[in-house]
Amino acid sequence: MTRDAETTVDLLGLLPEEAEARLLEHFHARGERAYRVRQVRAWLYERDAAAFEEMTDLPARERHALAEAFSLAAPALVQAARSADGTVKHLWRLGDGELVESVLIPADNRLTLCISSQAGCAMACVFCATGWSGYRRQLSAGEIVAQFRGARRWARENGRGPITNIVFMGMGEPLMNPKGVFPALTLLNQAYGVGARRITVSTVGVVPGIRELARRPEQFRLAVSLHAPNHELRQRIVPIERKHPIPELLEALREFEAAGGRRITFEYTMIDGVNDSPALARELADLIGQFQAHVNLIPYNPIPGPPWRPSPPQRLRAFAATLHARGIEATVREPRGRDIAAACGQLRAEHETSPPRPFLQLQQALAGSAG
């Protein structure tokens, strides 16, 4: 007998000390010893159990009692798509049928996991497939952490190494989901043991969220999707620029830096003839020269919709060289997992049944400006 997941507490979404307290209370009420809590904790945070049934060092009656009292929101793996370059994309089905994706990206001696923070996204960035498909709902902390648990378990069972880094660069805008993302950060760091400096929150520039992250004592890393060095151009690419314009964004970034001296990554999607001129590179260097910055240049991955192309390699190199000449570190990010639609901005459940959001106006405006 298991109860409906909605009427029971998802153990995976509770902060570590809260989970511990609830488990202790649960076992205490049943006349069980405290070491049962340690057993469950190991299954939760080290062995990535997907169901209480798997906790085989507990007697069957205790496993049943746990399933009565709590739930484990372990998403179902719908698909694991493997790229020729070693990248693996997982499609997960959540309890209510929503689909989210995470991506494992091996590089050198790292294994980076890219996770989603929302089902869909409301930010409507013009070049992003998730943005075009619209916003569905927030992910809970448990659902965010579940992607890590599921991917880690998959990696273990498929002979991949341990996950060394986590980036919030999948679907969604993490800082628009503080109730899910901030506890998830605590969990990943404290319960699952991923170093804060190995976890990067990537934001399009949600200023209140950046301030909240700055106030955290841990050294979580921040990446900012800038894409343009001035208001005029940026508002055409990322609509949030109208709400939190560049000066306000920079102010929040200064706070973030002052709070812990942490290096900030600026992401810059390179779109041919739109934001990739040497003059804009100089403008960018002037804008972010005040920070200990690193710029990630991402060649635009064409998606259906905008009439754009990626910057050609020589333009990417020239842009990077202009930044280097002004003392700004910059690297060109290789697109990974293109053959399985796992590359930046391509994460979008192809299984989605809902109609695309009406971005037609925007599309028309773009088509007009391109012609």
* CB nearer to ligand SAH: pick between 140 and 202: 202
DSSP per residue, 245-305: -HHHHHHHHHHHHHHH---EEEEEEEBTTTT--HHHHHHHHHHHTTS-EEEEEEE----SS
* 71 versus 117: smaller Cβ distance to ligand SAH: 117
Give the interface segment with ligand SAH, choosing from 27-35, 49-57, 285-293, 299-307 (CB under 6 A).
Answer: 299-307
- Both tokens of 320, joined, read 């990077």
Give, as ranges, the residues between 240 and 269 that touch ligand SAH (CB under 6 A).
267, 269
Concatenated DSSP letters for 311-336?
Answer: PPHHHHHHHHHHHHHTT-EEEEPPP-
Task: Restricting to residues 150-209, name those near ligand SAH by CB under 6 A.
Answer: 169, 173, 202-204
Catalytic site residue from 32, 98, 101, 257: 101
Based on the residue annotation, tell me whether 114 is a catalytic residue of this protein. Answer: no
Secondary structure (3-state) at 147: helix
Which residues are bridge partners to 106 per DSSP? 111
- Please tell me whether residue 344 binds ligand SAH under the rule CB under 6 A: yes
Q: Could you give phi then psi for residue 78, rounded to 5 degrees?
A: -90, -40
Choose between 73 and 128: whose C-beta lies nearer to ligand SAH. Answer: 128
Decide: is 298 part of the binding site for ligand SAH (CB under 6 A): yes
Per CB under 6 A, does 303 bind ligand SAH? yes
128 catalytic? Reply is no
Question: Binding string, 199-228, against ligand SAH, x = CB under 6 A?
Answer: ---xxx--------------------x---
Euclidean distance between CA atoms 140 and 156, whole angstroms:
25
Query: Which of 11, 201 has the CB closer to ligand SAH?
Result: 201
Cα-Cα-Cα-Cα dihedral of 211, 217, 219, 220, to 10°? -50
Residue number with CB closer to ligand SAH (152 or 227): 227
327 Rama class: left (phi>0) / alpha (psi -120 to 50) / beta: left
55 binds ligand SAH (CB under 6 A): no
Bridge partners, residue 221, by sequence: 200
Q: By rule CB under 6 A, what count of residues binds ligand SAH?
A: 17
Annotate 159-203 with three-state secondary structure. CCCCCCEEEECCCCCHHHCHHHHHHHHHHHHHHCCCCHHHEEEEE
Q: Would you count residue 300 as binding ligand SAH (CB under 6 A)?
A: yes
Say how far apart CA 136 and CA 49 lie, in whole Å: 28
Least distance in Å: CB of 327 to ligand SAH?
23
Min CB(129)–ligand SAH separation in Å: 6
Summarize as ranges the residues that interact with ligand SAH (CB under 6 A). 125, 127-128, 169, 173, 202-204, 225, 267, 269, 298, 300-301, 303, 344-345
Task: Kindly list the catalytic residues.
Answer: 101, 344
